[in-house]
Copies of this chain bind each other. A is one copy, B any other.
Amino acid sequence: MNIGEAAKASGVSAKMIRYYEQTGLIPPAGRTAAGYRDYTMKDVHVLRFVRRARDLGFSVAEIDGLLQLWRDRGRRSADVKRIALGHIGDLRRRIAEMQQMAATLEQLAACCSGDDRPDCPILADLERPSQVASDEPKRMRGAVDGRSPRGRKPQKSKSRKTSRK
């Protein structure tokens, strides 16, 4: 089976199959005399595993761990569960953050007349200084994605008390 057929059978694009091989997530496939990658049903099985895990939002790193456990007959299900629970926590966190954003925006949008006039509470909100310096827990500001690099790190920058004016 060549890579195109393996892609169709597994649901993983040929591009991604090569990428996963390159990064070591999956072992190098066999090769035909002509140099074409050659896949067995077992390989497709692995690819489907990867695909399903991606569908559930696991990162490639997490999938790597899951794959190793999958192959390990002597694994402890606790290890699998730990990875899954960690991922669930990630998801719940990101969901909560996005819900917070959506709620704020919906509130603002509800107050916006949405007509030809320029006055807009949405812009008014964006304009106001972000209330970061409060004593609140300071929860990851933009963080939504957890995985995609959307404003994750709190942008510390320590403090730099000198006022060079």
Q: Interface of A with B (CB < 8 Å)? A: 2, 4-5, 7-8, 11-13, 45, 48-49, 51-57, 66, 69-70, 72-78, 80-82, 84-85, 87-88, 91-92, 94-95, 98-99, 101-102, 104-106, 108-109, 112-120, 122-123, 125-130, 132, 141-142, 144-145, 147-151, 155, 157, 160, 164
Contacts and interface: CB of A to CB of B under 8 A. Distances in A.
B66 A123 contact: yes
Contact of A157 (B13, B88, B120, B127): B13
Contacts of A77: 112-120, 122-123
8 contacts: A54-B150, A56-B101, A70-B123, A77-B113, A78-B115, A80-B122, A85-B109, A91-B101
